[in-house]
Amino acid sequence: MTDKKINQTDKRKQSLYFPEDMLAEIKREALRQDRSLSWIVQQAWRIARENIKKFPSINIELDE
Protein backbone atom coordinates (compact mmCIF):
# COMPACT_ATOMS: atom_id res chain seq x y z
CA MET A 1 0.00 0.00 0.00
CA THR A 2 1.36 3.41 -0.87
CA ASP A 3 1.75 6.25 1.63
CA LYS A 4 -0.82 8.24 -0.33
CA LYS A 5 -3.38 5.44 0.06
CA ILE A 6 -2.67 5.08 3.79
CA ASN A 7 -3.07 8.82 4.42
CA GLN A 8 -6.45 9.05 2.70
CA THR A 9 -9.49 8.95 4.94
CA ASP A 10 -11.34 5.68 4.55
CA LYS A 11 -14.99 6.09 5.49
CA ARG A 12 -16.16 2.53 4.87
CA LYS A 13 -18.61 1.22 7.42
CA GLN A 14 -17.31 -1.43 9.78
CA SER A 15 -19.07 -3.41 12.47
CA LEU A 16 -17.36 -3.59 15.82
CA TYR A 17 -18.74 -5.51 18.77
CA PHE A 18 -18.22 -4.35 22.35
CA PRO A 19 -19.40 -5.82 25.63
CA GLU A 20 -22.60 -4.09 26.71
CA ASP A 21 -21.01 -2.32 29.71
CA MET A 22 -18.07 -1.07 27.64
CA LEU A 23 -20.39 0.26 24.94
CA ALA A 24 -22.47 2.07 27.58
CA GLU A 25 -19.31 3.68 28.94
CA ILE A 26 -18.21 4.76 25.45
CA LYS A 27 -21.69 6.21 24.83
CA ARG A 28 -21.57 8.17 28.10
CA GLU A 29 -18.16 9.58 27.20
CA ALA A 30 -19.34 10.51 23.70
CA LEU A 31 -22.31 12.33 25.21
CA ARG A 32 -20.12 14.08 27.77
CA GLN A 33 -17.74 15.31 25.07
CA ASP A 34 -20.51 15.94 22.53
CA ARG A 35 -18.67 13.66 20.08
CA SER A 36 -19.61 10.61 18.01
CA LEU A 37 -18.95 7.07 19.16
CA SER A 38 -16.64 6.72 16.17
CA TRP A 39 -14.59 9.74 17.22
CA ILE A 40 -14.20 8.40 20.78
CA VAL A 41 -13.05 4.97 19.56
CA GLN A 42 -10.65 6.54 17.03
CA GLN A 43 -9.06 8.70 19.73
CA ALA A 44 -8.79 5.73 22.09
CA TRP A 45 -7.00 3.76 19.35
CA ARG A 46 -4.58 6.62 18.67
CA ILE A 47 -3.74 6.84 22.36
CA ALA A 48 -3.47 3.07 22.93
CA ARG A 49 -1.89 1.76 19.73
CA GLU A 50 1.75 1.98 20.83
CA ASN A 51 0.93 -0.04 23.95
CA ILE A 52 -1.10 -2.53 21.93
CA LYS A 53 1.83 -3.04 19.54
CA LYS A 54 3.83 -4.29 22.55
CA PHE A 55 1.46 -7.24 23.04
CA PRO A 56 2.92 -10.52 21.80
CA SER A 57 1.36 -11.85 18.63
CA ILE A 58 -0.37 -15.17 18.60
CA ASN A 59 1.07 -17.31 15.86
CA ILE A 60 -0.79 -20.58 15.67
CA GLU A 61 0.78 -23.15 13.38
CA LEU A 62 -1.54 -25.93 12.38
CA ASP A 63 -0.03 -29.40 12.07
CA GLU A 64 -1.21 -30.86 8.77
Identify whether 2 is part of a domain. Answer: no
pTM of the model: 0.69
Identify whether 8 is part of a domain. Answer: no
Identify whether 48 is part of a domain. Answer: yes
Identify whether 9 is part of a domain. Answer: no
Q: What is the pLDDT of residues 24-47, one digit of tens each?
A: 999 999 999 999 999 999 999 999
DSSP class per residue in 5-60: HHHS-----------HHHHHHHHHHHHHHT--HHHHHHHHHHHHHHHHTTSPP--P
Identify whether 36 is part of a domain. Answer: yes
Q: What's the domain range around 46?
A: 19-52
Number of domains in the chain: 1
Chain centroid offset of residue 55 CA? 15
Identify whether 33 is part of a domain. Answer: yes
Identify whether 60 is part of a domain. Answer: no
Identify whether 25 is part of a domain. Answer: yes
- What pLDDT band is residue 64 in, cutting at 50, 70 and 90? low
